[in-house]
Copies of this chain bind each other. A is one copy, B any other.
């Protein structure tokens, strides 16, 4: 018999090779169980990965159901055919918790054979499939790297309210809340608050928080609640600094994911793009490119989803990753706080970032002069009186500033080539889905 080295202490599946020759305990879920003669081969899955366990004789006769939670004690032995080079020769098994319902689908196949609705209805089970599981490990790494980069650049994390008295855009697309009998709304963005925190002297701020859009459309790229990675920065000269910041930020986020999520990326067959310099293309030029190259007309002053896809295809064809800053949007399709372009006041110093065919960021320089903001509000038929605390911000000494917001789910979906943004949302909320 082998020397027993603290067998009661749990070891993770990924650490098994470090314990060759020792007796250890693994805890996790039964991923699958194959019987061959008087042997049973159990693949145990835990948060670190998988490990093969071999059961003999009476132990092999025990029925271990898939997705049972088990503790398995045994000796770590060499197994040249196993991916890790080791397996567990089991001396004891404890079933901690067995399923008490029939599994609605099998999750231990490489590809999950279930439709998106079933996947989302049974989210706990579907996320046990290694490929689906990997999506949210990568998403967490993206959020962590976002924070890390900005903290290093002198940005302060802020926490601003999601219950608001009025919307940033004047009231459309807002979910109403009954707030102790008063009407309030869910914030569609932390826009006003991040600007206020810049003006409060933090200068550089970021927020990672949910935002809400009561949009009726139910497409593969819309969510009614999503996680917004928000950035706002004071003392800028133009929106060029914001695009430079976002370029450096994405370089860092993608680099970190490449380093820390290599197994997950390999499982998904995804190569993280090298973010070099990202092209800046003004809207008018983008429309001309699409017309010239693909014979496609665009709506006035904007690209439609097909146009966004084609522009990404165009920049990717030049051998670069499909990332492009689309700049110089016309004022009428941008928010009232968008800074006019210096050379043409009908355009704005704003931008979107398109990534693999989809808008993942909206940003730009903001108006910081109160008289200009009041004129902008009036030109849209909005009453300056209803923007009290926001207007006060600009009357207290406000530097030139701007920022951007990245949709975390969209970024994740585009990076991983997921067709529907819901696949990059743990528990999506859409026009028809409120559960789980």
- Residues of A at the B interface (CB closer than 8 Å) are 10, 27, 29-30, 45-48, 67-69, 96-101, 103, 121-125, 127-128, 133, 136-137, 139-140, 143-144, 147, 151, 154, 156-165, 175-180, 182, 184, 186, 192-193, 196-197, 199-204, 208-210, 212, 214, 216, 224-225, 227, 235, 368-370, 388-390, 392-400, 408, 426-429, 431, 434-436
Contacts and interface: CB of A to CB of B under 8 A. Distances in A.
Contacts of A133: 200-202
Nearest to A47: B203
Contact of A177 (B30, B151, B176, B393): B176
Contacts of A99: 395-397
Given A69-B399, A392-B101, A396-B101, A429 B161 contact: yes
Given A101-B395, A210-B210, A392-B124, A429 B175 contact: no
A159 B389 contact: no
B235 A158 contact: no
8 contacts: A29-B397, A96-B399, A97-B397, A99-B397, A133-B202, A160-B427, A182-B434, A389-B435
A389 B103 CA distance: 14
A412 B68 CA distance: 42
A125 B197 CA distance: 10
A97 B399 CA distance: 7
A340 B355 CA distance: 50
A12 to B, nearest CB: 8
Nearest to A399: B69
B124 A199 contact: yes
Contact of A427 (B125, B193, B203, B235): B193
Contacts of A69: 397-399
Contacts of A29: 201, 397
B136 A202 contact: yes
Nearest to A133: B201
Contacts of A103: 396
Contacts of A179: 175, 224, 434
A230 to B, nearest CB: 14
